[in-house]
Structures are given as C-alpha cells and as structure tokens.
Structure 1
Amino acid sequence: MKPKYTLIARALHWLVALGIIAAFALAMSFDDMPLSMAKLKLINYHKWIGITVLALVALRLIWRLTHRPPALPDHMATWEKLVAHVTHGALYVLMFGVPLGGWLYSSAKGYPVVWFGLVQLPDLVAKNEALADSIKEAHRIGGWLIILLAAAHAAAALKHHFINRDDVLKRMI
C-alpha cells in the first residue's frame, strides 16, 4: 500500500472542505434575501463557519509543515505536478484569504464577528463603508474562486481514481 496522508491531515482536509461548501451554500442562500432576522441568523452561521474554517486551515498548514505529505506518483508528468502544487498553493491562499476577507468586511462595515455567539473577535479595521464595499466584492470573488479551484481539485482526484487508476484519491480517504 502506498503511503497515505495522516489521519489528522485527512480529517482536517475533509472538515475544511465541508466548511467551505457549507459557508458557500449559506452565502448563496442569503445573498438575495431581504434584510430580516432569518437573513441575519444565516449570516451569523456563515461567519461562524468561516472563522472555524480559518482556524482549521491554520492547524492544517501547521500540520502540513511538520508532517510531510506523500509524494506525488512518479508516473505524473512534470507539468501535472506543477499544476497540482500551484493549485494547492492557490487553495491555501484562498482558504486563508476568503475567511479573513469576510472578517475584514464585517469590521469595515461595523458588524462584530462573534464566534458561535460566545467569543467576540477584534475588529481588523475601523468602520469604513467604502472599504467595506471593496472588501465585500473581493470576498465574493474569492468565494467563487475557491469553489472553482476546489471543483478542479476534486475532478483531478476523480481522474486519478477512475482514469489513471492510481492511489492519489485513496491517500486522502
């Protein structure tokens, strides 16, 4: 059997993936809703998941830096390995950047981020409506980019499993 990712690496990978999907689905559900208590509740859930994803990604990065992942298969072309590394790098940038962007947006808008209604996080910037508008758009674009890259990442894993018939996907399951 080829080397697998550690149990902790696999758990963090799937928890982050589920968190990103849930946060994105929530954002899509409240995006066009009129302002109401129901919308505010969904926005809070979105924030809670985003901050949780941010914390999990920080743990994941620490784990990855201290626990070398299995090498990519020898049969992969150099360009495929390069694309895999660039995609992973971009995903990490987005996994940090999108939740931080949401936190920045809330701060600039003057809305507190209270994780699970228990821990009020500090504002990252002072209230600034113009800045909030810019950050909101960057956060939205980042959300779409992370979903698109994650879909490409998943498609590549499925290609390895069903077409190449190698162990790339099995290492993360």
Structure 2
Amino acid sequence: MALTDTPTSYGLISRFNHWVVALLVLVMLGIGLYFADLPRGDEKTFWFQMHMAIGALTAVFVVLRVLWRAVSRRTQPFPQARFLQVTTDIVHGVLMLALVIMVVTGPLTVWTAGRPVAPFDLFSIASPTGEMHNLHEILEQVHVVTAYILMGALALHILGMLKHLVFDRQVLMGRMVGSIKPEASAE
C-alpha cells in the first residue's frame, strides 16, 4: 500500500485525509444546520461550541489536504467526455475552495464577535480583532452561503461517483478505499 499518489491510484495519505475531511464536513454541516435555527440558550450554545471545536479539527485536516494536493502527484482521471471532465475539475475546485473559505470564515466570524476560539476547551485563541459587528455579519453570511455551495458541490461529487459506478462501470470508489491495485484502476 503506497503512501503517496500514483498516476492510477490515490495513496494512503490522500485516502485517509479525504475520508476524515468528508466525515468531519458532514458532521459540521449537520450540526450547523441543526443549531442555526435554535433559540438562544444552553442547547444552542452547546451545539455552537461543538461546531466550533470540530471546525478547528477540520481546519487542520483541510490545511493538510490543500498542502498535500499542492505537492503530490495528481492521479489521472478516468476517461470521459471533455464536458464531464471540465465539470469534474470545476466541482473539485469548488469543493476545495469552499472548504478553505469555511475554515477561514469560521474562526473569523467568532473573533469578529469579540469571542475567543476555544476548541473543546483545551486551549483558547483570543480574538485578534475584537468586536467588529459589521464585518461579523458579512463573515457570518459568507460562511452560511458557502455552506450551501459546499452542500451542492458535495451532491454533485457524489452524483459523479455514482455515474462512474453505475453508468461507466468504473471502479472509481476502489481508488478512494484502497480496494484495487494501482494497475487495475487504469481501465
């Protein structure tokens, strides 16, 4: 099992990071959607704190994912029509950009409300900005809109995987779970 990516398969580092980020993002989106409409109070505060703490953990993996993508060899895509390949590239780009925007606007939204970021109460990073109400409102809206864009891109990503699996009969999923040997994915 290779650690790094090859032209025909994803390595252990890419696969591990993909699935950790996928799981964390799904949890974050679920929590964010849940607590957004709760009335102010202890329950909303609990879920907000949980969202913020898991967000800090997610940020670490997103940064690692972006850095790894920048320095690792790119696995070649399965052959498909040019339009579909361009669409695939755009969806992957939107996913990566949305993840970066989310992990940047998340803590900035907290800090511009004048609060510290304190993941799981293990440590606390004080607000470097202090309260900035107008900027806080803008960042909060960017965070929410980006969450919806991320959900749309995730849906397209999953539909693309299903298209490869069902219509193209390609073993694309095997690349991300490590169930196929690199030479087997070159079909």
TM-score by length of 2: 0.85
Query: Contact (CA 8 Å) 1:107, 1:125: kept in 2 or not?
Result: yes
Q: How many residues were matched structurally?
A: 171
| Counterpart check, 1:169 vs 2:150 | no
2:102 match:
98
One-letter amino acid of the structure 2 residue matched with residue 134 of structure 1: I
Query: Contact (CA 8 Å) 1:104, 1:124: kept in 2 or not?
Result: no
1:133 match:
137
Query: Contact (CA 8 Å) 2:115, 2:126: kept in 1 or not?
Result: no
> Using the alignment, how far apart are the partners of 2:70 and 2:103 within structure 1?
21
> Which residue of 26, 37, 40 corresponds with 1:35?
40
| Counterpart check, 1:87 vs 2:91 | yes
2:50 match:
45
2:156 match:
152
1:63 match:
68
Unaligned stretches of 5+ in structure 2?
1-6, 178-187
Greater Cα offset, 28-37 or 14-23 = 28-37
One-letter amino acid of the structure 2 residue matched with residue 35 of structure 1: R
Percent of matched pairs sharing the same residue: 25
> Using the alignment, how far apart are the partners of 1:79 and 1:13 within structure 2?
25
Could you list the runs of 4 or more consecutive aligned residues of structure 1 that deviate by over 6 angstroms after TM superposition? none
> Using the alignment, how far apart are the partners of 1:98 and 1:152 within structure 2?
19
What's the offset of the Cα at 1:69? 3.0
Query: Contact (CA 8 Å) 1:110, 1:127: kept in 2 or not?
Result: yes
TM-score by length of 1: 0.92
Cα deviation code 1:102-124 (max 9, x no counterpart): 11111111121112211222435
Query: Contact (CA 8 Å) 2:114, 2:129: kept in 1 or not?
Result: no
Root mean square deviation of aligned Cα: 1.5
Query: Contact (CA 8 Å) 2:117, 2:125: kept in 1 or not?
Result: yes
What's the offset of the Cα at 1:164? 0.6
Cα deviation code 1:128-166 (max 9, x no counterpart): 111111111111111111011011101101110111111
One-letter amino acid of the structure 1 residue matched with residue 139 of structure 2: I
Unaligned stretches of 5+ in structure 1?
none
